[in-house]
């Protein structure tokens, strides 16, 4: 027999859960996951899209006379622009054809003056 003032402990399967401690709200469990995706969007996805749009605008605005840098490290002046091919002058009487996507940087202040052929 249990002593007065002490509680008896029954089998675990027969015990009821304490009052006021129900299951946590399932929507509350999604908050950290949503926070993670928002952080990833603003740190990775959004800046990459902005950079891609800037690069695309720069490639569409290429004109003869622009000084550019290619992904292979060539520095040259744009001589001609076709749909997907850009002709660069990299030295006197030396011209090379590169794809438009190979151009990664346009130097500021390249006025677009038509170079001598």
CATH code assigned at 66: 2.30.30
Mean pLDDT for the chain overall: 84
Q: Tell me which residue range forms the domain holding 74.
A: 62-117
Q: Are residues 40 and 68 in the same domain?
A: no
List strand residue ranges (DSSP E) for the chain, in order: 67-70, 75-81, 85-91, 94-99, 103-106
Q: Are residues 107 and 69 in the same domain?
A: yes
Point out the least confidently predicted range of 11-15, 20-24, 98-102.
11-15
Provide the β-strand partners of residue 98: 86
pLDDT band of 26, cuts 50, 70, 90: confident
Any domain includes 37: yes
Q: Is the pLDDT assigned to residue 106 strictly greater than 80?
A: yes
Q: Are residues 68 and 53 in the same domain?
A: no
Which segments of 1-117 does DSSP mark as H helices, in order?
26-40, 46-60
Instruction: Check residues 111 and 67 and name the one with the higher pLDDT.
Output: 67
The model's pLDDT over 35-84, given as tens digits with 9 standing for 90+, comes to 999 999 999 999 999 999 999 999 999 999 999 999 999 999 999 999 89
Q: Are residues 81 and 34 in the same domain?
A: no
What's the pTM? 0.62
Any domain includes 18: no
Q: Are residues 43 and 83 in the same domain?
A: no
How many separate domains does the chain show?
A: 2
Q: How far apart are CA 27 and CA 25, in angstroms?
A: 5
How much is the pLDDT for 25? Answer: 81
Q: Are residues 66 and 116 in the same domain?
A: yes
Any domain includes 16: no
């Amino acid at each position: 027999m249990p002593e007065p003032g002490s509680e008896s402990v029954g089998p675990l399967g027969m015990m009821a859960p304490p009052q006021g401690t129900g299951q946590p709200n399932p929507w509350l469990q999604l908050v950290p996951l949503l926070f993670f995706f928002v952080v990833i969007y603003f740190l990775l996805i959004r800046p990459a899209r902005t950079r891609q749009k800037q690069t695309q605008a720069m490639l569409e605005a290429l004109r003869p006379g622009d000084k550019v840098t290619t992904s292979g490290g060539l520095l040259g002046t744009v001589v001609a622009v076709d749909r997907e091919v850009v002709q660069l002058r990299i030295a006197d009487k030396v011209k090379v054809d590169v794809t438009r996507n190979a151009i990664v940087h346009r130097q500021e202040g390249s006025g677009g003056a038509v170079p001598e052929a």
